[in-house]
Structure 1
Amino acid sequence: MAVFTSVTLEDLAPWMTQFPLGKALNIRGIASGIENSNFFIDTEQGEYVLTIFENLNFEQLPFYLKLMRHLADRGVLVPAPIANADGELCVALHGKPAAIVSKLNGSSQMEPQPVHCAEVGTMLARMHLAGRDFTIHQANLRSLDWWQITVPKVLEFLSAENRQLMQDEIAFQSAFALTPTYKALATGPVHADLFRNNVMFDGEKLTGFFDFYFAGCDTWLFDVAVTINDWCIDLASGELDMARVQAMLNAYHAVRPFTVEESQAWQAMLRAAAFRFWLSRVYDFYQPRDAEMLTPHDPTHFERILRLRISQPVPALPQA
């Protein structure tokens, strides 16, 4: 999250009259992240989160907002979008799509222990199962098609060694996506960006997942791999922490058992998850957009993780 579009309390006052939240009393920007403009807003009904969407359009947004509403209605701990007087979840502010969602309690757990990873694994499996009857389909916009388009745009910025790594990995992932193993993987709505800073905890109790604006339909295993590659590693080295890995995988498996095909695809999917964020961070670092509170992420972090997932064995998925 970041601030690309400024909003003042004076801007907000007339716009807020369409929502059942009373007057806006305060607004402050949220500095983390890089895709949308985000603010905490205090209203007469409590504290909420306002998002102005910088890249997504009015046609794309119903998927994200209705998915969040769908999951919330099924007991998954996510922010609930607030409808205006006309029942709309997304309305224009400063000429851009905007939405208000409920604010989760707690704070992000940036030094997770196995108990936190188990909580995340359980809720992630519940989220995947709850999304099975969601009727809107939208592909993950940062999956293979985007990788294939974006790789040629960033190669000139890389060292010869990293150019080779990127070209080799996009070739590997393109070929793997054509295999019967990949095609047999379970699919559905996924979060696709479930990093530590997108989950809230109150002590050891998980209070919610948020920031669903990279969500899309993809393999559930990719979602698990993205989550493992952030929650279950030593941040300095990228090495997997086996106690945290096993806690998350066992908790997920207890709710939604892994399949044989998922076990066969596991290392390739951990590589895919690392590659997706290495590529996007390289792209954001060398093709930055203006923002008041934007700090691009370090691309080398996921380069290290990708090299490790290629070169080292990974722990097996639990099996029934």
Structure 2
Amino acid sequence: MSVFTPLARPELETFLAPYGLGRLHDFQGIAAGSENTNYFISLEGGEFVLTLVERGPIQDLPFFIELLDVLHDANLPVPYALRTTDGSALREMAGKPALLQPRLPGKHIKEPNTQHCVQIGELLGHLHLATRDRVLERKTDRGLDWMLTEGTNFLSHLEAGQRPLLQAVLSEIEQLKPRIMALPRANLHADLFRDNVLFEGTHLTGLIDFYNACSGPELYDVAIALNDWCSHEDGHIDGVRARALLGAYATLRPFTAAEAELWPTMLRIACLRFWLSRLIAAESFAGQDVLIHDPMEFQMRLAQRQKVSTPLPFAL
């Protein structure tokens, strides 16, 4: 179970008291996390999620808090940092930065249909529109430069059959990086997978886990989402679901001609980012009781993205 920091009831009660949310009823560690420790917290005042930030860009936590405040104010279904009675949002517990957030209703979708994908497209469109006029700047720590560095490192110890696939997309990044970075920008979720979205039936009720959020090309966010929500197990894109997601997004934020031209490249880059991060996690946490996603999933998707038959709609 991916609960890196175990907590006991007395220390939780002490930590939670300043929020003024009443007595602690129950708490439970969440097994799904792969980077941070998360607990479901049940208080007299409602249901909440406590996150202890274990690794990553801890210095950027004020950015995440501000971004979620902006999105919450724009009526997006996102968590946000609750304040104590003296106004503190970012606190410390067990020596780790800690945030308490409302627990959003709903469950994760394992097998999305077109209606789910329509709502994902709409959600992403609203997220980008809420931030593109005043982008909160944060450079991702897993961007194009990171991909070039880590990808080059992995070339030496991948199997021979994997190297051409990796080398091709690295060369593409080197060639097209200036054009990619010139695409329309906003704040990105940058990890919009099925396990970060909540639904009640076909109604989207929550978008969670913003710890990869950053500023960057909006098209990259679309590619990340489509690669997960619209892929079959063998890595092929489901054209019906893909057109539903892209059409819903484009209704809110039309794509540009430059984005249409770079769309196949961006799909490949979005695959590479998660192929590399999963390869790194598999090496770093081998033999440990930590949730590790299969790197082969994104290797397969990258192989399938060498030819892309689902174009962007309504490119201007």
Q: TM-score range by the shorter chain?
A: over 0.9
1:21 Cα deviation from its structure 2 partner: 1.8
Residue identity matched to 1:98? A
For residues 160-182 of structure 1, give each alpha carbon's deviation from its aligned partner in whole angstroms, at most 9, with x where no partner exists: 22233223322221221123xx2
Residue identity matched to 1:309? R
1:23 Cα deviation from its structure 2 partner: 2.6
Structure 1 SS opposite 2:110? coil
Inter-CA distance 22–174: structure 2 relative to 1 (3 Å threshold) = farther
Residue identity matched to 1:201? F
Identity %: 37
Structure 1 spans left out of the alignment, 5+ residues: none
Residue identity matched to 1:249? L
C-alpha distance in 2 between matches for 1:18 and 1:318: 50
56-65 or 223-232, larger mean C-alpha shift:
56-65
C-alpha distance in 1 between matches for 2:14 and 2:40: 17
Q: Which of 288, 293, 297 is the equivalent residue of 1:297?
A: 293
Q: Are the aligned partners of 1:8 and 1:27 in contact in 2 as well (CA < 8 Å)? A: no
Structure 2 SS opposite 1:269? helix
C-alpha distance in 1 between matches for 2:94 and 2:143: 30
162-171 or 114-123, larger mean C-alpha shift:
162-171
C-alpha distance in 2 between matches for 1:172 and 1:119: 31
Residue identity matched to 2:84? N
Residue identity matched to 1:317? L
For residues 223-268 of structure 1, give each alpha carbon's deviation from its aligned partner in whole angstroms, at most 9, with x where no partner exists: 000000000011x201111110010000000111111111011000
**Other-structure match for 2:60:** 60
Structure 2 SS opposite 1:296? coil
Q: Are the aligned partners of 1:3 and 1:29 in contact in 2 as well (CA < 8 Å)? A: yes
**Other-structure match for 1:271:** 268
**Other-structure match for 1:28:** 28
**Other-structure match for 1:230:** 228
Q: Which of 241, 254, 276 is the equivalent residue of 2:238?
A: 241
1:2 Cα deviation from its structure 2 partner: 2.9
Structure 2 SS opposite 1:129? helix
- Taking structure 2 as the reference length, what is the TM-score of the superposition? 0.94
56-65 or 90-99, larger mean C-alpha shift:
56-65
Structure 1 SS opposite 2:242? helix
Q: Are the aligned partners of 1:58 and 1:90 in contact in 2 as well (CA < 8 Å)? A: no
Instruction: Give every structure 1 segment of 4 or more consecutive aligned residues whose post-TM-superposition deviation is greater than 6 Å.
Output: none
C-alpha distance in 1 between matches for 2:22 and 2:299: 47
For 1:126-141, what aligned pairs fall within 5 Å after superposition?
A: 126-134=126-134, 136-141=136-141
Q: Which of 162, 183, 186 is the equivalent residue of 1:185?
A: 183
Structure 2 SS opposite 1:84? coil
| RMSD of aligned residue pairs (Cα, Å) | 1.8
Indicate yes or no: 2:119 matched with 1:124.
Answer: no
C-alpha distance in 1 between matches for 2:71 and 2:201: 23
C-alpha distance in 2 between matches for 1:72 and 1:140: 22
161-170 or 200-209, larger mean C-alpha shift:
161-170
Structure 1 SS opposite 2:178? coil
Inter-CA distance 139–108: structure 2 relative to 1 (3 Å threshold) = same
Inter-CA distance 131–289: structure 2 relative to 1 (3 Å threshold) = farther
Structure 2 spans left out of the alignment, 5+ residues: none
Aligned residues: 315
- Taking structure 1 as the reference length, what is the TM-score of the superposition? 0.93
